[in-house]
Amino acid sequence: MNESIKEQLEWTFKAVVVTIPEDTQTVVSVEKDQVLAVLRFLKGRGFDHLALVSCVDWIEEKEFELVYILTRYMQGDEERKYQERLHLIVKTRISRQNPQLETVIGIFPNAEPYEREMHELFGINFEGHPRLTPLLLERDYKIPPFRKDFDTRKYVEEIFGNIPSVENNK
C-alpha cells in the first residue's frame, strides 16, 4: 500500500518527494503551491481524515514547515485493516519573512481551528480563511509566542515582573 501511494504520487505530481521512514508512515514533501492539489488527490484516494495541522519554526533556514497528517477513518473490513494504520505526513515549507499560505478548509473543514491557532501562535496568514480571530490568547504579543525568536523569560520579566506584589502595597 505504501509503495502504491508513493508511485501514484510521484507519477501524478512532478516536484513531490516521497520517503517511507516506517512501515506505517509516509512522508510527502511538496512545494507550497501544490499543497491543495496533493491533499485533494489524497482525499480522493481514501485519506479522508485530517488528524492534525502543525507548524515547525526552522529559524536558521528562515522557513516555517507546515505539517498535515492524514489518516483514514475506520473502515471495518479485514482487508483495510493494514491501510488504516497508514499515516500520511504532508510537509511544505514557506518563507519566514512573509508567511502566507492558502487555507485548506475547502478540502478539510476541520482545519479551521488549527489554522486559527497557527495564525495566533506563529503569525501565519491563511488566505481565504473566514475568521482569523484570537482563539487561545488574551494578550497582544509583538512577536507571536511560538516563534523561536520570542524570548519568554524577558517577556515574563517585563509583563508579570512589573506587577507589584501585595507587600509593595503602601
Instruction: Give the binding site for other proteins (CB under 8 A).
Output: 136-139, 141, 145, 150, 152-153, 155-156, 159-160, 162-166, 169
Beta carbon nearer to other proteins, 15 or 166:
166
Helix (H) or strand (E) holding 69: strand 63-71
Minimum distance of other proteins from residue 124's CB (angstroms): 18
Assigned C-alpha cell, 81: 485493516
Residue 30: count other Cβ atoms within 10 Å of its Cβ.
22
C-alpha span between 47 and 28 (Å, rounded): 13
Beta carbon nearer to other proteins, 78 or 167:
167
Minimum distance of other proteins from residue 93's CB (angstroms): 26
Beta carbon nearer to other proteins, 1 or 156:
156
46 by Cβ neighbours in 10 Å (0-12 / 13-18 / 19+) ranks as middle
Beta carbon nearer to other proteins, 13 or 150:
150
Specify the 3-state DSSP secondary structure of 7. Answer: helix
Assigned C-alpha cell, 35: 499543497
Minimum distance of other proteins from residue 59's CB (angstroms): 17
Minimum distance of other proteins from residue 168's CB (angstroms): 9
